Amino acid sequence: MKSLRVELAKTTPDRKTAFAIALKIENSAGEQHFQKVMGTPSDSKVVQILQELWEDDINHHARIEKYMQEVGEAVQMT
């Protein structure tokens, strides 16, 4: 992720590239684990609190894709 930050500091990506980068991040392994934990019922009070705090972050990938389609900025993922 550091190399991505360095690259983006040099040049600002166009809108379509920015969406593609956002989707790449949303598809990362860490994000997939986060989504699984946030979407699974848990007896852990800590997990329950985190689920409540991060409720708006669940299914973020799908919301990005939906928005991109609505504004005509859909990108192909490779």
Q: Considering only CA atoms, give the Rg of the chain.
A: 15
The domain segmentation of the chain, as residue ranges, is 15-70
Residue 59 has a pLDDT of 73
Q: Is the pTM of this model over 0.85?
A: no
Pairwise pLDDT comparison (75 vs 54), residue with the higher score: 54
**Nearest alpha carbon to residue 75 among 15, 9, 28:** 15
Buried residues in 28-61 as b, exposed as e (16+ CB within 10 A)? eeeeeebbeebeeeeeeeeeeeebeeeeeeeebb
Q: Is the pLDDT of residue 71 over 60?
A: yes
pLDDT per position as a tens digit, 28-69: 777 777 778 888 899 999 988 888 887 777 777 788 888 888
Pairwise pLDDT comparison (36 vs 74), residue with the higher score: 36
Residue pair 23/42 in contact (Cβ under 8 Å)? The answer is no
